[in-house]
Amino acid sequence: MVSDAKNPAKESSPKLTLFPLIALIFYEVSGGPFGIEDSVRAGGGPLLALLGFLIFPLFWCIPEALITAELSTTFPDNGGYVLWISSAFGPFWGFQEGLWKWLSGVIDNALYPVLFLDYLKHSFPIFNLLAARIPALLGITASLTFLNYRGLHIVGFSAVSLAVFSLAPFLVMGILAIPRIRPQKWFLVDFKRVDWRGYFNSMFWNLNYWDKASTLAGEVENPSKTFPKALFGAVVLVVGSYLVPLLAGTGTLDSPSEEWSDGYFAEVGFLIGGLWLKWWIQVAAASSNMGLFEAEMSGDAFQLLGMSEMGMLPSIFSSRSKYGTPTISILCSATGVICLSWMTFQEIIEFLNFLYSIGMILEFAAFVRLRVKKPDLHRPYRVPVGTIGATALCLPPTLLLVLVMCLASAKTFVVSGVVIVVGLVLYPIIVHAKERKWVRFETEPVLPSHIGGPTGQSDGSKVGKEVVDEAAIGLLSDSPQSELGQQMSDISSEILKLE
């Protein structure tokens, strides 16, 4: 690994602070109510949609956010959950996790240009035509990719501005709707029209990816304090951004549930406030999708960078531009977005949910295993439960993940199965390529920043109490053993065996 002292791009790039990190997490998970309209249609009316966004956060968002806070502060380095899984189960499963979650993220990112055009086509029907839609998709992807290349701090502060602008019209819509709201409309549901597969997929997609920001933990200022605060703030912001417009729209209008599909909030704005509010929501949708795209691409790209720094991918993936951004990793993510944006909205959601679910089950297992396997691992933020409590915390979201996977279509099972097989085959190929030196890999020990070395101890952790993690010192190493040498002289002279 190239140390910070030899990597001026990384050293000079500004770190993410609290509010930009809240905005990035908000956009990793939500970005506003754009796309939640399907929950009303699939739920056969407002009741199940409203109950979903009230109950799902208790069993899904909060446990995932708590686990992310603990593990992100324990491993405050780029790569995030790949480090967690590698530490708990070894580099083979860390690589599989990285592949599943990266592909899931790229598929998720392919949604946002599609969703953007779905909002615009209500005012510009030309975007229903492929001749206009394809150039628009390519143009949107190229311009947003360039903004991501220019620097993570720009992405972070842009996300703050975009979040304020994107949510403002829904706050106005909520205020305008108050005199016209009839609470009895919130309790309407037609169980004969409920599409349970679509409903759970919609709920799950709109409330997942809390762990994504962990992939750029190495770019966060004082992560042990910043991450827990940012995750708590993002939970409140996400749930509020869903409930306010849903309560306003469903409590005011008599629209049948089948009219609620992606892009319908623009029409809700027109019916409540007039043409000016409809246009404002459409512009806000464009802004929100910019934020969603940027946040997702940042997470995907820095995940590849982290995997490269660990020796899981060729070193070209860890090369940075003069702005401190991982250029090749960004280009790979952008290429994936372009290749996948031809899929329909529902196909994209179901496919990415399945891959994401597999990865999340592995993350929950790693959380419990690390509590058992490495109880003395330094945890700047620790979820205040013991091993039994940690297991109980993971049980409800795990059952939800299994339910979402069981509801998947046969096509999703087949495609996801192919992805899993590719991962199983690709890992030994990469190991062989490294042993034969066909391509260059990072071979120096990679140390978590909280353990010591050139990055120092920004969080003030006590080095002597650290448990050195084998997943963080050069996975897929050329030799079966690695000495930490001078960097670890303050910790231990132990020779660590790599898998």
Domain boundaries along the sequence of the chain:
4-412
Which residues, in sequence order, are CB contacts of 484 under 8 Å at separation 6+?
Answer: 445, 447, 468, 473, 491, 492, 493, 494, 496
| Residue 97: exposure state from Cβ atoms within 10 A (0-12, 13-18, ≥19) | buried
* Residue bearing the bigger pLDDT, 132 or 482: 132
The size of the chain, in residues, is 499
Residue 114 has pLDDT above 70, yes or no: yes
How high is the pLDDT of residue 344?
Answer: 67
Q: What share of the chain is helix, strand, coil (3-state, %, to 5)?
A: 70, 0, 25
Lowest mean pLDDT among 318-322, 344-348, 491-495: 491-495
The number of beta carbons lying within 10 Å of the beta carbon of residue 406 is: 10
DSSP code, position 382: -
The average confidence (pLDDT) of the chain is 79
Residue 2 binned pLDDT confidence (cut-offs 50, 70, 90): very low
Start-to-end CA span in the chain (Å)? 18
* Residue bearing the bigger pLDDT, 7 or 32: 32
Residue 250 has pLDDT above 50, yes or no: yes
Residue 482 has pLDDT above 90, yes or no: no
| % of the chain with per-residue pLDDT over 90 | 26
pLDDT, average across residues 131-150: 75
Residue 108 has pLDDT above 90, yes or no: no
Residue 157 binned pLDDT confidence (cut-offs 50, 70, 90): low
Measured at the alpha carbon of residue 463, what is the angle toward residues 460 and 469, in degrees to the nearest 5?
115
Q: pTM to 2 decimals? A: 0.75
Residue 437 has pLDDT above 50, yes or no: yes
Residue 454 binned pLDDT confidence (cut-offs 50, 70, 90): very low
How high is the pLDDT of residue 245?
Answer: 93
* Residue bearing the bigger pLDDT, 214 or 344: 214
At residue 255, what are phi and psi to the nearest 5 degrees?
A: -60, 135
Q: Number of C-alpha atoms within 13 angstroms, CB side, residue 168? A: 14
Lowest mean pLDDT among 217-231, 338-352, 422-436: 338-352
* Long-range CB pairs of 315-322, under 8 A, 24+ apart, other chains included: 315/439, 315/440, 315/441, 315/442, 316/439, 316/440, 318/1, 318/2, 318/442, 320/7, 320/9, 320/10, 321/9, 321/149, 322/9
Q: Determine the Cα–Cα distance for residues 332 and 494; give it in Å rounded to an integer.
A: 38
How high is the pLDDT of residue 343?
Answer: 66
pLDDT, average across residues 295-320: 83
Residue 198 has pLDDT above 90, yes or no: no
How high is the pLDDT of residue 372?
Answer: 93
Residue 152 binned pLDDT confidence (cut-offs 50, 70, 90): low
Residue 458 has pLDDT above 50, yes or no: no
pLDDT, average across residues 148-161: 68
Residue 441 has pLDDT above 90, yes or no: no
* Residue bearing the bigger pLDDT, 194 or 116: 194
How high is the pLDDT of residue 35?
Answer: 77
Q: Determine the Cα–Cα distance for residues 112 and 165; give it in Å rounded to an integer.
A: 17
CATH 3.30.470.10 is right for the domain spanning 4-412: no
Residue 490 binned pLDDT confidence (cut-offs 50, 70, 90): very low
Residue 348 has pLDDT above 80, yes or no: no
pLDDT tens sequence across 34-91: 878 889 999 999 999 999 999 988 888 889 989 998 998 898 887 788 989 999 999 9
* Residue bearing the bigger pLDDT, 291 or 166: 166
pLDDT, average across residues 275-301: 82
Residue 460 binned pLDDT confidence (cut-offs 50, 70, 90): very low
pLDDT, average across residues 162-189: 92
How high is the pLDDT of residue 494?
Answer: 32
At residue 64, what are phi and psi to the nearest 5 degrees?
A: -65, -40
